[in-house]
Structure 1
C-alpha cells in the first residue's frame, strides 16, 4: 500500500457538486492499493499514520500525532499512486489493484483507522471522479510505502 499523508487545516471531497467529506485540522490521506498488499500491510499503515508525530506541540515542534491532537482524517482511494512512468509518457497502472481486490482492503483500512482513532473516518468514494480540496499545513506531506517498512 502506498499513502500520501498531508497535514491540513482544512480539506474536503466533492462528488457531482456535493461535498461528501469535510474536515478542519487533521490529515488528508491518499491510499493506493496493489495486488501484493495484505491485511497486515493495512494494519501496519493504519498504526503508522495514526501515530505519526507531525503536529506541533506547545513549542511548535512536530511532536504530536493525529491521536494526540484528536484531529480528523479523510481517506481517499487513489490508484494513480501506483503509476509506472519508466517507459514512455503515458503512465501505466498495471500494478494498481482492480476494484474486486482493492475495495475490500480499502474498506478494511478505513475500519482499522476508525478503531485506531476511536472515531469515524471520512472518505471519498472508491472509483468516483472526486474533487479534492485542501489547505496543506506547513506544508507537511509524507509518503509511505508498506513495501519499505524496514
Structure 2
C-alpha cells in the first residue's frame, strides 16, 4: 500500500457537485492498493499514520501526532498512486489492485483508523472526485508498507 499524507487545515471532497466528506485540522490521505497488499499492510500504515509526529507543539516543533492534537482524516482512494510512467507518455496502472480487493483493504484502512478513535471522512470509492484542501506547512509525507 502507498499513502500520500498531507497535513491540512481544512479539506473536502465533492462528487457530482455534492460534498461527501469534509474535515478541519488533520490529514488528507490518498490511499493506493497493489496486488500483494494484505491486512498486515493496513495495520502497519494505520499505526504509522495515527502516531506520526508532524504537528507542532507549544514550541512550534513537529512533535505531536494526529491522536495528540485530536485531528481528523479525509481518506481518498487513489489507484493512480500505482501508475508506472517509465515507458511512454501514458501511465500504466497494472500494479494497482483490482477494484474488489482495493475496496476491501481501503475500507479496512478507514475502519481501523475509526476504531482507533480518529474521525474519518471519505470520498466515494471508484467515483470521479474533486478534492480541495489547504496543505499546512506544507507537510507532505509518502508512506509505503513495503518499506516496513
Q: Is TM > 0.5 for Structure 1 vs Structure 2?
A: yes
Q: Which digits, 9 at most, give the CA deviation of each residue in 1:33-60, with x for residues without a partner?
A: 0110000000110010000000000000
Aligned to 2:86: 86
Aligned to 1:14: 14
Distance 1:67 1:80 in 2: 28
Aligned to 1:23: 23
Aligned to 2:98: 98
Aligned to 1:121: 120
- 1:70 is the counterpart of 2:70: yes
Q: CA deviation at 1:119?
A: 4.0
Aligned to 2:144: 145
Aligned to 2:35: 35
Instruction: List runs of 5+ in structure 2 lacking aligned partners.
Output: none
Instruction: List runs of 5+ in structure 1 lacking aligned partners.
Output: none
Q: CA deviation at 1:142?
A: 0.2
Distance 2:64 2:49 in 1: 12
Structure 1 residues 52 and 119, CA gap change in structure 2 (3 angstroms)? closer
Partner SS state of residue 43, structure 1: helix
- 1:133 is the counterpart of 2:125: no
Q: CA deviation at 1:115?
A: 1.2
Q: CA deviation at 1:120?
A: 3.5
Give TM-score, length-normalised by structure 1. Answer: 0.97
Which runs of 4 or more aligned residues in structure 1 lie more than 2 Å from their structure 2 counterparts after TM superposition? none
Give TM-score, length-normalised by structure 2. Answer: 0.98
Distance 1:17 1:147 in 2: 36
